Structure 1
Amino acid sequence: MTPDAAPRIVVVGSINVDYTAHVERLPAAGETVGGGTLVRIAGGKGANQAAAAARLGAAVRMIGAVGDDADGPWSRQQLQAAGVDISGVLDAEAPTGVALIGVDARGENQIIVCPGANWHIDLSGAALSADEAVITQLELPLETVTALAAAHPGYLAVNASPAQLLPPELVERTDLFIVNESEYALMPQLHHGRRVVVTYGAAGAALFTDGVETARAAGRKADVVSTVGAGDAFCAALVLALRRGFDDRSALEVACAVGAAAVEHEASQPPFEVLDAYLEKEGP
């Protein structure tokens, strides 16, 4: 694949409406915190990754499900506005997924996800081809992700979030896992995975090949507004860079730059520039 090619990416994943409460500090267990500001934005790990990949320059189609409610058409419109092909987004007999998010003054967050229609994704009409890279996440039923892995003939990247026990056949099949530091600690089966990228927030990211670190990139300075969509932006940028032929270290570097840009915006689906714009922003 030539460095200036526009890879074809299919995101199979969650589509949510995010209700985000911005507060000075997040509540402890059983505590009520007042003075918040509520914002309604498009979200869902799958939708976030699809929107980011499209804005960064990939040809992206989304496979997912929304409810037959007011949030369904609105969620579709948000993806379409980002340049995503939404022909694979179906209506389900369940409410559109919702995420309830609290974000504090430092940009840290707490999230509760109500999956709704995301639990009803239908892969029967997906028609995946070998030249398409697929990105998926664990906000879907695990059996859906496992079936997807078995059916897709091409490159498969799994953002293994939220953390859970994975079947051996999924671990063996997946070309690339992407997790954060906490998820990596909770999923020891990935410690000897073929290719696993671990993100460390402001400290950057590392690639492990068969359990051995083979590439690393430093984090990027950013004025943090919200970290909610940063991991999703990182995933999209990383897969796009690798599919464009970047070497592992360069792919990690540009993905860290995109992730840093994401935390400076309150939206889970920020208005990114094309990927090459972030090659000039690799400095610490």
Structure 2
Amino acid sequence: MKFYVIGDVTVDHLYHLGRLPRAGEEVTPLRASMKPGGAGGTISVTLARLGHTVTLAACVGVDPFAEYALSHVRRSGVGTGAIQQDDQHLTSTITVMQTDAGDRTMISDGAANRQLDPAKLKKRDIETSDALIVNAYALIEGPQREYALQAIAYARGAKKAVPVFIDLGTGAVNKARTSLLDDVIGSDYLTLNQHELQALTGTGSISAALAKLGQAGAQRVVVKVGKMGSITWTPTDTELVDAVLPEGDVVDTTGAGDTFTATFAHAVLSGVNMAEAARAANAAGALAATSLGAQERSITPADLADVLPKAKKTRDTPAREPS
């Protein structure tokens, strides 16, 4: 399958702490590392390792971090023809501080990512893809937002169905809140966690939030609910899909949600229903958390063999009438 992915690439500075520091306090991390990251990069790398043809649209600076941010992207065979460079902004970096108890705080800078030039988007690249995946950070601001919205419009207008997957991110939702709803409601598949779901809809519970999404016109939603697994929702059905426990200890959850989204899209296009796709995504997200860094744990078809049934035709991928 051929995927077109729009999202950030970053350099992640990871600090694992006994506890998060108080204001003005200096602490020593239990361990520290620097890894390639970003939702766009992680989704792309995961799909490529699963055997797909992937094009990533992102923007980096002209600086020493640029090649490092793209190192796994290039190594995994992701197409970089839509990668842009901006000499006025630095490659994006993210500082992540997290504890073994699951507490996490982040400092992120969109930087060059937000400068993705929509004039360089090629309509044919979208129309000839089997799916478009957009991370919600690309919908927040700057030229990148225009690029993402135009790509979605091309996918919606394609003569051959190009399903649109939109994955939210906590920082994106915290910044845009309910204003993101209009941008994401028309997606074929919307993936997000519980906090993002409630912030997006301005509600206090999962059930109320899903009801509001249904009223707004959502068709297929997957909610990541951590150790409980995930919830798949359509206007006619809601199902809790149990978590799949990984072999090995959880050491870093950075990028696990992005791995989930990529694997979910892979499974849907492989021909299984939403619940089966979510089960495979649960397993992949859990496996990703057993290595330090968003893109370090390679997810392969062998990893999913026990949880992803083989299917010959897609049962949930929407068919769109020619425009």
Change (3 A) 1:85 1:131: closer
TM-score w.r.t. length of structure 2: 0.79
Separation in 2, partners of 1:249, 1:38: 37
Match of 1:3 in 2: none
- 44-53 vs 74-83, greater mean Cα deviation: 74-83
| Code of the aligned partner of 1:198 | V
Report the secondary structure of 2:223's partner residue: strand
- 261-270 vs 75-84, greater mean Cα deviation: 75-84
Check conservation: 2:180, 2:200, Cα contact below 8 A: no
RCO comparison, higher one (Cα < 8 Å, 6+)? 1
Separation in 1, partners of 2:4, 2:263: 14
Separation in 1, partners of 2:74, 2:110: 21
The equivalent position to 1:118 in structure 2, one of 113, 119, 144, is: 113
Separation in 2, partners of 1:252, 1:117: 32
Separation in 1, partners of 2:51, 2:179: 31
Match of 1:49 in 2: 43
Q: Does 1:73 align with 2:67?
A: yes
The equivalent position to 2:245 in structure 1, one of 197, 200, 221, is: 221
> For the aligned residues, what is the CA RMSD?
2.1
Match of 1:158 in 2: 166
Report the secondary structure of 1:140's partner residue: helix
The equivalent position to 1:96 in structure 2, one of 91, 97, 104, is: 91
- 97-106 vs 194-203, greater mean Cα deviation: 97-106
- 173-182 vs 139-148, greater mean Cα deviation: 139-148
Q: Does 1:105 align with 2:105?
A: no
Whichever structure has more strand as a proportion of its residues is 1
Match of 2:283 in 1: 257
| Runs of at least 5 residues in structure 1 that lack an aligned partner in the other structure | 1-6
| Runs of at least 5 residues in structure 2 that lack an aligned partner in the other structure | 202-208, 309-323
Whichever structure has more helix as a proportion of its residues is 2
The CA deviation string for residues 151-203 of structure 1, in whole angstroms up to 9 with x for no partner, is 32321111121313345653442111100011111112763221111000111
Change (3 A) 1:197 1:92: same
- 42-51 vs 153-162, greater mean Cα deviation: 153-162
Aligned pairs for 1:88-237 (under 5 A) are 88-93=82-87, 94-127=89-122, 128-142=126-140, 143-144=145-146, 145-152=148-155, 153=158, 154-161=162-169, 162-163=172-173, 164-166=177-179, 169-188=182-201, 191-192=213-214, 193-210=218-235, 213-222=237-246, 223-237=249-263
Match of 2:306 in 1: 280
How many pairs align?
275
Match of 2:205 in 1: none
The CA deviation string for residues 99-142 of structure 1, in whole angstroms up to 9 with x for no partner, is 01012124543222111101101233332125431111122243
- 184-193 vs 238-247, greater mean Cα deviation: 184-193
The CA deviation string for residues 43-83 of structure 1, in whole angstroms up to 9 with x for no partner, is 11111111111112221110110000011122233211122
Check conservation: 1:50, 1:60, Cα contact below 8 A: yes
Pairwise CA distance, 1:36: 4.2
TM-score w.r.t. length of structure 1: 0.89
